[in-house]
């Protein structure tokens, strides 16, 4: 038998996040909250009591007017004209969830305005990302008079101008990715990250920009800032799509995104959209109040699978369907594609992790770069993310197919991928993205040069030996602090996700008050009552806890645990439960 003290060991090093004690004390005093709540607020960028109140209120009236975004007025006027004159509108999307929800949102907006637009999304493997010769051909095929891009187009390579010149189709580019040193030459370019744009919030997802365009166009159509009841209802309902796209794109959940996702989750719970209702049922969330985590872990993977494994047009069919009968066969295809994605991803991830761990030079390198012939290009981003999670280093996974290398990069907070791509640009054909996620295209013969350039750049941005996987927790806590007031404040801090991570607490002196019970089909999971010297008591859930805890789960044995608070809703009431993250025996 394994010795009890060895059955619970930490999976990685722990470190408490640093706070400013004066700010914590100020928030505790001015807000009348506990030290723990004040600590959590300070770690989420809250600067003072007024900021905290607005941050926790998440009011729709605090959203910025869309007209503050450069190019928005011209874009809204042109889209309104196209709707009024029943022009042929082609909505050019992107194949990820942000692109799918953005395109669906604008198509549904046109429908709400009694006009039908056509959605076209390039195939990831055939057409590639963004505007291309396939986009030009799509404009010709559909005889489009107006093309509106969503979640793509800012790095257009001159295609927007060509489409306008060669087809007479006006082009509006809406995007949120970083410009690549120039702006497309076309009718309008709407992107909060334009260098000349003074819009206050630079972190909207593509679907957030699309929603702002719908709002601005609604005002033009109505001739006033106050839009008609029908369009107001549409804009409110459409927040469900905004929430799905924003969370799936890992956009930071602060600023406007925090407001949009908070209200979008409410709309998602009561949506009448047949496609969204079917997704909720498939994810076993029907009748529940979904969280941002539910989108990220249950809904987004389904929608992502379409663009990764086949065509994201399935998502458009799903999200713009008029009835449940239309939805059923589409969802069946999406679910099947997601199963295949999971199978391939698991196999390939395990293989690359094994290769990395067998490499004697792993510890001395700042990056991980893998490339392979025939790899499925649709899953390399997922695998790169898992490598970052496992090894704590920026990673690139590159699929080589048909004489072209296309890769996905994922990073850590201290390494901005936009800067990394700029440093590697001499060996790239194309590259762009966000701080933590990006994509590249290059000649397969230059993968080695890219590996060296990427390593060289990242090595200058981090301290030697600092890239060690580590778990940062927010604060130590006693169980007595996790009371009803904490539950109320905790719920007000949501939605949690990128930019507003779920609080992680350390219980340094906890014990089980009674013997935990095992549950699940094979009895792999563990659940039991925790207590500590302060006299508090809370239920702990440990997924796969049987193998993790072993005999250490004996009542009365001291445990040092990292836990994640969660809201448990049941029959209209809410309570706080704790989910095991890591731990060690006392």
Average pLDDT of every residue of the chain: 92
Distance CA(455)–CA(285), nearest Å, equals: 43
Q: Which one of 202, 236, 269 terminates a domain? A: 269
pLDDT tops 50 at residue 1? no
Mean pLDDT of 395-404: 93
Instruction: Say if residue 398 is in the same domain as residue 491.
Output: no
Range of weakest confidence among 240-254, 353-367, 465-479:
465-479
Q: Which one of 459, 487, 505 terminates a domain? A: 459
- 448: CATH: 3.10.310.30
Q: pLDDT band for position 357 (50/70/90)?
A: very high
Q: Which residues of 131-165 are buried (b: 16+ CB within 10 A; e: fewer)?
A: beebbbebbeebebbbbbbbbbbbbbeebbebbbe
pLDDT tops 60 at residue 158? yes
For 509, phi then psi, to 5°, come to -145, 55
Tell me how crowded residue 110 is: count the other CB atoms within 10 A of its CB.
22
Strand partners, 372: 399
- Residue with the bigger pLDDT between 437 and 550: it is 437
Instruction: Say if residue 447 is in the same domain as residue 485.
Output: no
Asked if the structure places residue 354 within a domain, the reply is no
pLDDT tops 80 at residue 574? yes
Tell me how crowded residue 194 is: count the other CB atoms within 10 A of its CB.
19
Instruction: Say if residue 513 is in the same domain as residue 551.
Output: yes
Q: What domain range includes position 414? A: 362-459
- 214: CATH: 3.90.1640.30
Distance CA(457)–CA(427), nearest Å, equals: 13
pLDDT tops 60 at residue 5? no
Q: Which one of 269, 304, 326 terminates a domain? A: 269
Asked if the structure places residue 483 within a domain, the reply is yes
Instruction: Say if residue 488 is in the same domain as residue 453.
Output: no
Instruction: Say if residue 399 is in the same domain as residue 497.
Output: no
pLDDT tops 90 at residue 451? yes
Instruction: Say if residue 455 is in the same domain as residue 479.
Output: no
Domain count, the chain: 3
pLDDT, position 308: 72
pLDDT tens digits, 249-286? 989 999 999 999 999 999 999 999 999 999 999 999 98
**Which residues have CB under 8 Å from 452's CB, separation 6+?**
none
Distance CA(60)–CA(269), nearest Å, equals: 18
pLDDT, position 565: 96
pLDDT tens digits, 44-75? 999 999 999 999 999 999 999 999 999 999 99
pLDDT tops 80 at residue 397? yes
Distance CA(552)–CA(549), nearest Å, equals: 5
Asked if the structure places residue 25 within a domain, the reply is no
Asked if the structure places residue 329 within a domain, the reply is no
pLDDT tops 60 at residue 76? yes
**Which residues have CB under 8 Å from 448's CB, separation 6+?**
none
Instruction: Say if residue 453 is in the same domain as residue 481.
Output: no
Instruction: Say if residue 499 is in the same domain as residue 454.
Output: no
Asked if the structure places residue 284 within a domain, the reply is no
Assign 50 to helix, strand or coil.
Answer: helix
Mean pLDDT of 545-549: 86
- 581: CATH: 2.40.50.460
pLDDT, position 465: 59
Asked if the structure places residue 467 within a domain, the reply is no
Instruction: Say if residue 453 is in the same domain as residue 522.
Output: no
pLDDT, position 127: 67
pLDDT, position 7: 62
pLDDT tops 60 at residue 389? yes
Asked if the structure places residue 125 within a domain, the reply is yes
pLDDT tops 50 at residue 219? yes
Q: Is it true that the peptide bond before 495 is cis, omega within 30 degrees of 0?
A: yes
pLDDT tops 60 at residue 4? no
Instruction: Say if residue 436 is in the same domain as residue 554.
Output: no
pLDDT, position 466: 63
pLDDT, position 362: 86
Question: What is the share, in percent, of the chain residues with pLDDT greater than 90?
Answer: 76
pLDDT tops 50 at residue 514? yes
pLDDT tops 50 at residue 460? yes
Asked if the structure places residue 384 within a domain, the reply is yes
Mean pLDDT of 442-463: 93
Q: pLDDT band for position 307 (50/70/90)?
A: confident
Instruction: Say if residue 524 is in the same domain as residue 419.
Output: no
């Amino acid at each position: 038998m394994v010795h009890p003290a060895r059955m619970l060991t930490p999976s990685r090093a722990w470190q408490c996040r640093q706070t400013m004690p004066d700010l914590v004390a100020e928030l505790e005093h001015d807000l009348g909250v506990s030290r723990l709540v004040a600590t959590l607020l300070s770690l989420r960028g809250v600067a003072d009591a007024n900021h905290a109140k607005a941050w926790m209120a998440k009011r729709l009236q605090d959203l910025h007017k869309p007209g503050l975004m450069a190019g928005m007025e011209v874009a809204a006027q042109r889209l309104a004209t196209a709707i009024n004159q029943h022009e042929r509108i082609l909505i050019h999307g992107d194949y990820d969830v942000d692109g799918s929800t953005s395109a669906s949102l604008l198509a549904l907006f046109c429908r709400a305005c009694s006009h039908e637009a056509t959605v076209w999304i390039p195939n990831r493997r055939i057409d590639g990302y963004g505007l291309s010769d396939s986009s030009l051909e799509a404009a010709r095929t559909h005889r489009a008079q107006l093309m509106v891009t969503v979640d793509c187009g800012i790095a257009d390579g001159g295609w927007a101008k060509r489409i306008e010149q060669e087809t007479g189709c006006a082009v509006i580019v809406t995007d949120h990715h970083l410009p690549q040193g120039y702006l497309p030459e076309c009718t309008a370019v709407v992107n909060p990250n334009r260098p000349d744009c003074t819009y206050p919030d630079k972190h909207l997802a593509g679907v957030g920009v699309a929603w702002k365009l719908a709002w601005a166009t609604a005002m033009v159509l109505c001739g006033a800032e106050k839009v008609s009841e029908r369009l107001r209802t549409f804009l409110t309902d459409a927040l469900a799509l905004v929430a799905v796209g924003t969370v799936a794109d890992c956009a930071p959940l602060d600023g406007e995104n925090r407001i949009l996702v908070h209200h979008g989750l409410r709309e998602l719970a009561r949506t009448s959209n047949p496609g969204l209702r079917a997704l909720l049922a498939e994810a076993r969330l029907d009748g529940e109040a979904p969280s941002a985590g539910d989108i990220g872990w249950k809904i987004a993977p389904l929608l992502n699978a379409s663009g990764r494994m086949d065509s994201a047009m399935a998502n458009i069919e799903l999200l713009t369907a008029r009835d449940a009968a239309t939805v059923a066969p589409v969802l069946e295809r999406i679910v099947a594609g997601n199963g295949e994605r999971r199978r391939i991803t698991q196999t390939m991830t395990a293989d690359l992790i094994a290769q990395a761990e067998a490499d004697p030079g792993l510890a001395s390198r700042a990056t991980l770069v893998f490339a392979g012939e025939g790899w499925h290009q649709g899953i390399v981003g997922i695998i790169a993310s898992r490598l970052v999670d496992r090894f704590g280093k920026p990673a690139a996974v590159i699929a080589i197919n048909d004489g072209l290398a296309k890769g996905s990069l994922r990073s850590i907070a201290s390494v901005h991928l936009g800067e990394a791509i700029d440093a590697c640009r001499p060996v790239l054909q194309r590259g762009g993205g966000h701080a933590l996620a990006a994509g590249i295209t290059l000649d397969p013969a230059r993968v080695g040069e890219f590996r060296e350039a990427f390593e060289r750049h990242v090595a200058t941005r981090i301290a030697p030996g600092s890239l060690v996987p580590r778990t940062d927790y927010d604060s130590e806590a006693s169980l007595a602090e996790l009371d009803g007031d904490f539950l109320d404040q905790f719920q007000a801090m949501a939605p949690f996700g990128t930019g507003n991570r779920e609080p992680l607490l350390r219980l340094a002196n906890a014990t089980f008050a009674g013997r935990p019970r095992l549950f699940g089909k094979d009895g792999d999971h563990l659940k039991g009552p925790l207590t500590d010297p302060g006299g508090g008591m809370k239920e702990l859930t440990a997924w796969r806890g049987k193998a993790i805890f072993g005999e250490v789960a004996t009542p009365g044995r001291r445990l040092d645990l990292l836990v994640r608070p969660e809201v448990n809703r049941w029959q209209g009431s809410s309570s706080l439960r704790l989910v095991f993250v890591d731990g060690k025996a006392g």
